[in-house]
Amino acid sequence: MKQIIALTFIALFILSCGGDKNKSVEDIIASSDLEQIREKKSELDAQKLELENQLKQLGLKIKELDPQEKIPLITTFPAKEGEFIHYVELQGNVDTKKNLVIYPEYSGIMTRVYVNEGQKVTKGQTLAKIDDGGLSQQVIQLQIQADLAKTTFERQKRLWDQNIGSEIQYLQAKSSYEAQQKAVHQIQQQVAKTIVKAPFSGTIDDVITEQGSVVAPGQTALFRIVNLDDMYIETDVPESYITSVSVGKTVQVDFPVLGTTMDAKIRQAGSFINPANRTFKVEVAIPNKDKNIKPNLTAKLRINDYTNEKAILIPLSIISENAKGEQYVYTIINKTDSLATAKRTIITTGKTQGDDIEVLSGLTNNDEIIQEGARSVKDGQDVKILKMESNQSTK
């Protein structure tokens, strides 16, 4: 009897367990039995893992049996000939040869200042006067003596022309007159140094020394005068460009602060290479009609050092290199609809510009070059073209 009761209990337990497994997820959730919910979740997790493994195995078998599944997917673009303009990118500062600090040529008190800051002046215009310390009076006295010497010489000359008097008297009168003239001229030159004049036309940017100050040659700065008409940019160019960066080359000049760009030309190229940094200097003339460009303004320069009217440019990212150091890209041949064959093509390259590089040999116009997927294909491999793109940049 006990055995019958035990067997009955085991059967009921098995049925109850089987009944739990057949319950729906909704029923188990509705029961709010944490243990049953956890058991059901573990059961479903195991089923999910099993299904993922089965799907993976099926996918591998499909790839093994279907050759279309092995073909890499690529995109291509056609090689196109176009003008390629290469630039050397440099930086420089604006300067002018007419940016000068004026110093006096005579010592003394600056008695008058005739100009103000910001005033425009012309070449030769008087800017200031320095006390001459009595030189003007000396000039008057010497001029009187010179006039007397002149009169004496003229009379002696007339007598000499009439063969009256001795030759020595004539020569003494001539010598005295010439000596007096030179003395007057010398003092006049000293007096002229007391007048400060503008060396060129421009604007008085700064009055450094005020009226009444004692000034001395080479020590006391008087004025700063600036002319913004003749502006230029000076920059250092690496010696490797010495044959391609020369006088007359076109330059694109960008002023980031002003937000303006202009075209200019190289007006001077240095003949000396600095041994410290292996560069030579060039000057680029800058037109400044609006007077917006100031000395020491920073500028970015793009100098055209190379031009190829029939260049083929391709992205740098699609170029690979073999064990011999040769560069290559993949092109397509035997194209039928969207299917083709990849071909490894050895190329030689030239100059770069941004993300593109010039191809000197290996490619011809309209060759279809593999772009996306170029790193995953092999020579002679069948490929499938997703779409055609014309991504080539023409500079």
Model-level pTM? Answer: 0.53
- The pLDDT score that the predictor gives to residue 229 is 83
pLDDT bin (cut points 50, 70, 90) of residue 5 is: very low
Backbone angles phi, psi at 205, to 5 degrees: -80, -30
- The pLDDT score that the predictor gives to residue 387 is 64
Residue 39: both structure tokens together:
């058991």
Tell me the C-alpha distance between 340 and 358, whole Å. Answer: 26
Q: How confident is the model over 265-286, as a mean pLDDT?
A: 91
Tell me the C-alpha distance between 363 and 312, whole Å. Answer: 8
pLDDT bin (cut points 50, 70, 90) of residue 172 is: confident
pLDDT bin (cut points 50, 70, 90) of residue 278 is: very high
What does the pLDDT look like over 313-348, one tens digit per residue? 989 989 998 888 899 999 988 888 888 898 999 999
pLDDT > 50? residue 365: yes
pLDDT > 50? residue 395: no
What does the pLDDT look like over 61-115, one tens digit per residue? 766 666 555 678 888 889 888 888 888 889 999 988 888 899 998 889 999 999 9
Structural domains of the chain, with CATH: 2-64 (no CATH), 71-84+309-388 (2.40.420.20), 100-225 (2.40.50.100), 228-307 (2.40.30.170)
